[in-house]
Every structure is written in C-alpha cells, then in structure tokens.
Amino acid sequence: MAGAVQKARWALLDAVEMLARIVWPAPLRGALGWAFLAPALILVGILVIGLGQMLETSLHELNLATYRLGDAYTLANYATALERPVTWRVLARTLGGAGIVTLVTLLLAFPYAYLLVRTGSAWARKFLLVALFLPFFIGQVVRAYGWLIILGREGLLNSALKAVGLPAQDFLFAYPTVLFGLVQYMLPFAVLLIIPALSAIGEEVELASESLGARWPSTFRHVVLPMAAPGLIGASVVVFTLTLTDFAMPEILGGGTQDFFASAIYDSFFQISNAGLGAALSILLTLIGSVIVAAVFMMAGTGTLGFRGGRR
C-alpha cells in the first residue's frame, strides 16, 4: 500500500513537471526573474503614469467662466500655491508634525522592538506580537473615530478626570492630539522595520562587549545603536513619508483646524473644484518628500530599505 502511494506521488510530480515545461518552455526560463518582477513593475508603471497625468493637469489653469481647466499650458497654479501664505503655513505644520512624529515614534518603537527580540519569555513575545499586529486589523479611520470617543468632552479620559475632581479638558481638534494619533498609527510600522536590524545583532556581541568591561549603557550606545542604524533609517523614512501624506488623522482629530498638506490637496480638488491647483499641490508635496528622502539616503544610506550591494 505504501509503495503504491509513493508511486502515485512520483507520478503526480512528473505530471506537474511536464505541465510546467508546457506552460513555461526552456527558452523562456531566463525571463523567470522578470516574470516575478512584472506585477511590481506594472504597479510602479501605473504610479508613474498617474504622476505624469497629475503633472499635466497641474499645468492648466481653471477658467472661472466655464469652471473647466484651460487648454493653455501655464505655471499659474504653482505661482498661486506658492504665493498663498496658507500654503507655507500648512507646509510648515506638516513638515514639523512629520519630524516630531518620526522622532517620537522611533523613541517608542526601538525599546519595543528590542524587548520583542531579546525577551526569553515565549509568553511575552507572543503578547508583544499580538499587540503589534492587532492595530493592522483596524482601519485608520476607525481608530481615529475611536480616539474621538476616548478624547471627547464626554469621553473616557474626561470622565476619569472628573472622577478624581479635575475639570474636563478640550483634547480634540488640537495639534498635539493629531500628532498623538499619528504616532499611535505609525508605531507598528516602525517596530516592524526595526526588528530585522535588531535580530541581525547576535546576543553574543552584546555579551562580548560586557565581558570586556563595558556597562550596558555603553554597549547600547557603542554597539547596539550603530548596528541597528539601518533599521532606524528605514523606519524613519517610512514613518516620515507616511505622516507627510496622511489625511485621515489630521482631518478627523484636527477637526478642520489643524490641516496637513494632504487636507489642502483634498480641499482644492473637492471643496473649490480646482483640479489644477490640487494637482500642483500634489506635485509640490511629492517633490518635497522625494528631496528629503533622497537627502536622507545620501547622508545616511538606505538602511533596511536598501538592497544587496547598495550603500548602507
């Protein structure tokens, strides 16, 4: 019986191999790598086409008589965007917020990732993993509305303050609240990007440092932190760019008073129906983000976002 089953398995494998030869003949096997890359290349191509279309739209000014974009190519939308003080105010708020969120997120994510990698307790590791992945099952908008319930005038936090005799506070529609929501949203992404870098540091490296007389703070500063730098760079780039383009948290927790640049783009497209101006703001945000990321890569390398043979 066992011999018959084994024979049937080999027959099945032969059939699969024959089918593979028919579907993917030998002359095409050299292109196997490109076949795996094709879906990603198609998606990138669609993104490039979309950016090209956005750039083309940004070069047409809105005709207020017909409320359609004119046919002539012009830089008027960029001039309008750059001349408005509100553009610079929103841009400064967005860049400042992205920087603060990135810094705070890294400060919180690093010890979390370090504990997750180094803990010897299987129960603690499982708990940290569940706590890390649980937010991914909840959408950003749902989380933002959850914070509305918790931080509202009659929310859980103000109820706790009243219970201990303190006056209620207005937590919502404030800049710190928006940043808090963004940090909470970005934290899992940062932890996931730092974990591979910390996992690559053998525990024996830290033990060797301590055996040579270094205290743990010195080991952390001179051994762990430099070796974990690729993870920190990758996490900082991802968190910064995601924060730079985030829309839901500033819109919901900011209540329209703490707009980020993505909110200004949304308003241009859907509130004042000026697609040309919205496209110009989108291109400006893309350029600013690209320049900042390129500067980080040039100064610090690509971190865990790099590839084999690339600069680290």
- Tell me: the pLDDT tens digits for 84-98? 999 999 999 999 999
Q: Which amino acid is at 92?
A: A
Torsion over CA: 114, 115, 120, 124 (sign)? negative
Q: Are 39 and 257 in contact (CB under 8 A)?
A: no
Which of these, 133, 101, 140, lies nearest to 235 by C-alpha position? Answer: 101
> pTM of the predicted model, to two decimals?
0.82
Check whether 312 has a pLDDT greater than 50. no
Q: Which amino acid is at 236?
A: S
Q: Which residue(s) pair with 60 in the sheet?
A: 73
Q: Give the whole-angstrom CA distance, residue 112 versus residue 240.
A: 19
pLDDT at res. 307: 55
Which of these, 228, 265, 232, lies nearest to 246 by C-alpha position? Answer: 265
CA dihedral 93, 94, 99, 104 (to 10 degrees): 90
End-to-end CA distance of the chain: 57
When pLDDT is cut at 50, 70 and 90, the band that residue 303 belongs to is low
pLDDT at res. 308: 52
- For 84-134+173-301, which CATH class? mainly alpha
pLDDT at res. 310: 46
Q: Are 195 and 231 in contact (CB under 8 A)?
A: yes
Q: Are 251 and 177 in contact (CB under 8 A)?
A: no
**Whole-Å CA distances, 277 to 198, 235, 264, 265:** 44, 32, 10, 8
When pLDDT is cut at 50, 70 and 90, the band that residue 311 belongs to is very low
- The secondary structure of residue 282, as a DSSP letter, is H
Q: What are phi and psi of 69, to 5 degrees?
A: -75, 135
When pLDDT is cut at 50, 70 and 90, the band that residue 2 belongs to is low
Q: Give the whole-angstrom CA distance, residue 223 versus residue 206.
A: 7
Q: Which residue(s) pair with 63 in the sheet?
A: 68
SS3 73: strand
Q: Are 236 and 193 in contact (CB under 8 A)?
A: no
Q: Give the whole-angstrom CA distance, residue 182 versus residue 174.
A: 13
SS3 9: helix
Q: Give the residue, 261 or 170, on which the prediction is more confident.
A: 261
Plot region of 309 (φ>0 → left; ψ -120 to 50 → alpha; else → beta)? left
Q: Minimum mean pLDDT among 54-63, 148-157, 175-184, 265-274: which range?
A: 148-157
Q: Minimum mean pLDDT among 22-36, 41-55, 103-117, 174-188: which range?
A: 22-36
Q: Give the whole-angstrom CA distance, residue 188 versus residue 112.
A: 10
Q: Are 227 and 211 in contact (CB under 8 A)?
A: no
Average pLDDT of the residues in 148-175: 87
Q: Give the whole-angstrom CA distance, residue 228 versus residue 110.
A: 9
